[in-house]
């Protein structure tokens, strides 16, 4: 590692901020370590209010020019960014695997292609964004989506680049300028994105990247009076803090927060499919906000379901995420390992039983865990663990299944396994969730609304919903008379 630069998996990564088209260093740094082995991978510039103000000022200064850029040109530049992502897919995949511990094969085949798709989708959607004019007593109503201004985007560590670009792409497409604050536990691919955007020709100051801790740089960003939109993905407590910070300026918020999602398995379900869906919840070491961590299984098939689940889960291989045969990688940080283990230990002390797992492994690896004999009002059922820990409860009726599914403060997602389409229709209509999957999981289309109910968030993103948030909607009403003759 040299000053302001580190090499990760053979890729050079600048460790400074990206502000106004320039690399900017901070006097202090923080250490970024790989969850694979705990080894340091870089000393990252540690932003403060100084860098936050500079980034917002840069975004504000170039906003009028970017907002006035024709839609077709904005779309062309976003496609150029997507081209750059595709050219560097292998580099991005390798860096992010080292930085956050998710599977390399997933980054190569799914995550990084999705990053490029995020830019292409919103670039193309921008060109079709329109509302049909309509008449009111002979007057014409014309709806437009006007760029709002500088946006602060605060992103999590579990899918750093994909979730960042899920916000960056529509914000830029809408004609806004952006200050991106990546999670301090996985900042590296955000820095590479700044390079890619600059190489694609994105004007200086349109995209800015500021690194650091929330308490030191995040507060300065979210409380800044020149910020017009804030989008955050992360925990409920942090969202509450951000909302309080933004309140003085009435800055609109989009919040995608925690989940405690259920997987309902009815006796008429394809049991092998249901087991596959359940084991899939260990993806990314359980560090997925949408994960269906509460398995709710009809009592008549619970014993057989559990037997098949244990057989399949026991075949999962946990280890180095860079190896093709690995199914589950490490947990992001030692603090997260301790948090997960605390949840499990308290649950076991309260009477839960570990069918599999129930303990950490070596380093930052936590054994895939399934807990039974848990109470509905217990911490392990009610609170988000964000690790490879599932609970299993049984039900005897449709009403009981729905009650258990809805009986938390969250409402991000739900998954349903049933062989009866009429039951599927009845149950999904009663579930409190932003997304419901029936006999499938994690099928997502950018045209669909995405977000959570209750404490799982505020607002929806995707398709036109993204532009509704990142824009000021305007309705222009024109009278049929009053024009002077200019002939």
User: What's the angle, vertex CA 209, arms to CA 99 and CA 85, rounded to 5?
Assistant: 60
Give the residue carrying structure tokens 């590479």.
Answer: 192
One-letter-per-residue 3-state SS of 436-486? EEECCCCCCCCCCCECCCHHHEECCECHHHHHHHHEEEEEEEECCCCCCCC
Instruction: Give catalytic residues, as residue numbers.
Output: 256, 289
Phi-psi region of 101 (alpha: psi -120 to 50; beta: other; left: phi over 0): left
153 and 126 in contact (C-beta within 8 Å)?
no
d(CA 455, CA 112): 29
For the residues of 195-233, what is the DSSP string, one character each? HHHHHTTPPTTSEEE--S-IIIIIHHHHT-TT--EEEEE
Percent of residues in the chain assigned helix, strand, coil, to nearest 5: 40, 20, 35
Structure letter (DSSP) for residue 328: B
Sign of the dihedral through C-alpha 343, 348, 352, 354: positive
**Residue in 248, 296, 289 with CA at minimum distance from that of residue 415:** 296
**Residue in 112, 106, 42, 91 with CA at minimum distance from that of residue 323:** 106
Q: What are phi and psi of 60, to 5 degrees?
A: -65, -40
Inter-CA distances, 76 with 36, 59, 191, Å: 38, 20, 22
d(CA 213, CA 49): 11
Q: What are phi and psi of 341, to 5 degrees?
A: -65, -35
Helix runs in 15-70, H state only: 49-68
370 and 392 in contact (C-beta within 8 Å)?
yes
d(CA 164, CA 233): 9
**Residue in 348, 385, 318 with CA at minimum distance from that of residue 35:** 318
Inter-CA distances, 227 with 246, 253, 414, 446, 484, Å: 9, 11, 34, 26, 41
Contacts of 2 (CB under 8 A, 6+ apart): none
Give the residue carrying structure tokens 């017009």.
Answer: 228
d(CA 337, CA 407): 27
């Amino acid at each position: 590692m040299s000053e302001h630069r580190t090499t990760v998996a053979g890729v050079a990564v600048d460790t400074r901020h990206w502000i106004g088209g320039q690399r900017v260093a901070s006097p202090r740094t923080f250490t970024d370590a790989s969850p694979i082995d705990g080894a340091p991978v870089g000393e990252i510039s540690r932003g403060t209010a100084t860098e936050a103000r500079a980034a917002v000022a840069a975004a504000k200064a170039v906003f009028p020019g970017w907002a006035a850029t024709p839609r077709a040109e904005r779309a062309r530049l976003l496609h150029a960014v997507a081209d750059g992502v595709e050219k560097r897919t292998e580099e991005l995949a390798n860096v992010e695997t080292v930085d956050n511990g998710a599977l390399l094969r997933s980054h190569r085949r799914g995550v990084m292609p999705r990053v490029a798709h995020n830019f292409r989708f919103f670039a193309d959607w921008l060109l079709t964004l329109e509302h049909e004019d309509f008449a009111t007593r002979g007057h014409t109503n014309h709806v437009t989506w006007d760029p709002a201004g500088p946006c602060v985007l605060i992103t999590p560590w579990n899918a750093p680049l994909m979730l960042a670009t899920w916000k960056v792409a529509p914000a830029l497409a809408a004609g806004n300028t952006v200050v991106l604050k990546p999670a301090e536990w996985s900042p590296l691919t955000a820095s590479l994105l700044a390079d890619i955007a600059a190489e694609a020709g994105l004007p200086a100051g349109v995209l800015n990247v500021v690194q650091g801790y929330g308490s030191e740089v995040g507060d300065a960003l979210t409380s800044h009076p020149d910020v017009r939109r804030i989008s955050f993905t992360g925990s409920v407590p942090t969202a509450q803090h951000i909302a309080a910070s933004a309140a003085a300026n009435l800055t609109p918020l989009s919040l995608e927060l925690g989940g405690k999602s259920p997987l309902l398995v009815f006796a008429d379900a394809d049991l092998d499919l249901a087991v596959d869906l359940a084991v899939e919840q260990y993806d990314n070491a359980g560090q997925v906000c949408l994960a269906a961590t509460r398995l709710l299984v009809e009592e008549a098939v619970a014993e057989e379901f559990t037997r098949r689940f244990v057989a399949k889960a026991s075949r999962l291989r946990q280890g180095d995420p860079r190896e093709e045969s690995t199914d589950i990688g490490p947990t992001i940080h030692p603090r997260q390992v301790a948090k997960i283990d605390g949840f499990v230990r308290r649950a076991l002390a309260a009477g839960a039983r570990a069918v599999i797992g129930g303990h950490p492994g070596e380093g930052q690896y936590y054994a895939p865990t399934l807990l039974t004999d848990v109470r509905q009002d217990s911490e392990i059922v009610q609170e988000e663990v964000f690790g490879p820990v599932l609970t299993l409860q049984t039900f005897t009726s449709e009403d009981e299944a729905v009650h258990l599914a809805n009986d938390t403060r969250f409402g991000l997602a739900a998954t349903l396994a049933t062989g009866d389409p009429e039951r599927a229709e009845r149950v999904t209509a009663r579930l409190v969730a932003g997304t419901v999957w029936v006999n499938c999981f994690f099928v997502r289309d950018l045209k669909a609304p995405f977000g959570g109910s209750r404490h799982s968030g505020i607002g929806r993103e995707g398709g036109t919903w993204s532009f509704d948030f990142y824009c000021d909607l305007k309705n222009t009403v024109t009278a049929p008379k009053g024009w002077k003759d200019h002939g």
